A and B are shown apart, each in its own frame.
Chain A
């Protein structure tokens, strides 16, 4: 291999390595809420992973909820791109809805809004239908993220 070819190969390899490093922030987003018929609430949270690769952040100091239990079975694998409704959670009362989800990654802290019940965050009909479609409405697990979130 010529020197020039080696240089090109090295530069190419470096570019691949750099591209694979997850150095970009992860932004959490509060997607909104639905007021259920029994006056409980269904909350939805999502995220944006701006990296080109998936990122794992275990539950703990870097991935936790504020307001009650810190670990609510929230996502720990953050797929690349935007993912609405990644965590859909039923809570019993308005006071139980005072939650904020926070992750710390790549030197950046992202936390969801504290304006959880601002009427402007009420989900429109199409999104509301999506997030309640996958829930067991008879005995939904309360206060934790449900599995298999709808997309």
Chain B
């Protein structure tokens, strides 16, 4: 039995709607960690109209969002996975918040059709707003041991 089991989670919101011509269409997605966890990596995934994506952690203790990562010049044809140098340690009940922005304006040079309203779909001409997370849960005692003195 392995000590840790890594899960890949797509934090996304399929109710995505991007109006025609909107240069800054925002969508939000959430995922709650059921147990203490360590976050290994973050990968924004969007299509032609992807503009930027951020990842925040909202801890249950104080409810304040903490910015973990931001990719502010997203390129649909270059989607690296950002691996944290040291996995982030977060308590149970932390809400992972992904904020995505899409640019459906004519100013977006790779936009295939700024006249179209765009929603979730598999084709590249459709859109997605996935924040891929790799994480694993850890026991409470291990979480406590990882806290700064």
Contacts and interface: CB of A to CB of B under 8 A. Distances in A.
Interface string B11-26: 0000101011000000
- Interface of B, helix, strand, loop or mixed by DSSP: loop
B122 interface: yes
B124 interface: yes
Interface of B: 15, 17, 19-20, 112-113, 115-119, 121-125
Contact of B117 (A27, A118, A127): A27
How would you classify the secondary structure of chain A's contact residues: helix, strand, loop or mixed? mixed
A29 B17 CA distance: 10
Interface residues of A, number: 24
A105 interface: no
15 contacts: A27-B19, A82-B17, A84-B119, A110-B117, A113-B116, A114-B115, A115-B113, A115-B115, A118-B112, A118-B113, A120-B125, A121-B125, A124-B123, A127-B121, A127-B122
A124 B117 CA distance: 19
Nearest to B123: A124
A137 B129 CA distance: 36
